[in-house]
Structure 1
């Protein structure tokens, strides 16, 4: 009996990693309000089996925020910069508690009902190319992973990462 209690205590004291996956895509909210668009932000955990995660009826993905995409009455070059600033500021606010849990850990209940210390690092962000450019803060016609510009795309010589 004592050994079982010690084993349960040991299992409960282990820290586990709960990998976080985020996804978003711009979508129109309604046409009656002048074409207002938002970025719904969805979250799931990475240790759910993929076949279950992708079933709509499993409810594995949860919408955690709607990030607005407003229009400003300014030059088009500044529009993109302001949209990127708003997107990053709101994303920072929405994920603030996840960042703390990734760094310091948080107590969560496991499926057995025991409390465990869990760390929640962001492992991936699923997005289309324009959203990837917005997230990484690079201009259009520039590579997301290298220093290559549009004129260098397709060159046989590799560019710096």
Structure 2
């Protein structure tokens, strides 16, 4: 992540001695069991881009931290399906705004940042910014307020997207073509 253009661009804006901490958020609504009433959970995880990818993806490294559980309740106040869907969208966005509120002040380049102790024991002034949100396709549509069936990155309809070859990924396509299905990460600047 530190080889990308975002990192260099933000680092140039920070005060001398400031350190960027790109925050990576991931969430996924998960069914826990089918045996006791179809219980589900909606965890939100946080990690930082300063850690090597090999550590971030290794559960034993404990590089991801559970920061919240989103509501999975289904209120039924006599609402229509559309009204209920809109209420759930609003609940998601308000919840995420509340959860991520501390990042706003801490990540402002002209703000005080946050003092943290590094792995070598040195105290650094860190500026955490939301850089990436990892989500599956339905959740990408929820996060970006796009209709399911359209690409949350380029807003094209699903039937207008080209098929990508097995060697192409969303990171290697440079022509703005199709995006493979499944879980993808996308930067906040793309949303």
* TM-score, normalised by the number of residues in structure 1: 0.79
Q: How far off its partner does 1:59 sit?
A: 0.6
- Residue matched to 2:137: 129
Gaps of 5+ in 1: 1-12
More helix by share: 1
Deviation string, structure 1 residues 29-87 (Cα, Å, up to 9, x no partner): 45576334331000111111111221111111111100012213222112221111111
**How far apart, in 2, do the equivalents of 1:114 and 1:47 lie?**
16
Gaps of 5+ in 2: 1-15, 163-175, 177-189
- Residue matched to 2:37: 34
> Which has the higher Rg, Structure 1 or Structure 2?
1
Q: Secondary structure at the match of 2:40?
A: strand
- Residue matched to 2:146: 138
Aligned length in residues = 145
Higher relative contact order (CA 8 A, sep 6+): 1
Choose the corresponding residue for 2:126, options 104, 115, 118. 118
- Residue matched to 1:65: 68
- Residue matched to 2:116: 108
Deviation string, structure 1 residues 77-116 (Cα, Å, up to 9, x no partner): 1222111111111111111112211112211112232322
Q: Secondary structure at the match of 1:120?
A: strand
Deviation string, structure 1 residues 112-144 (Cα, Å, up to 9, x no partner): 323221110111000000010110111112221
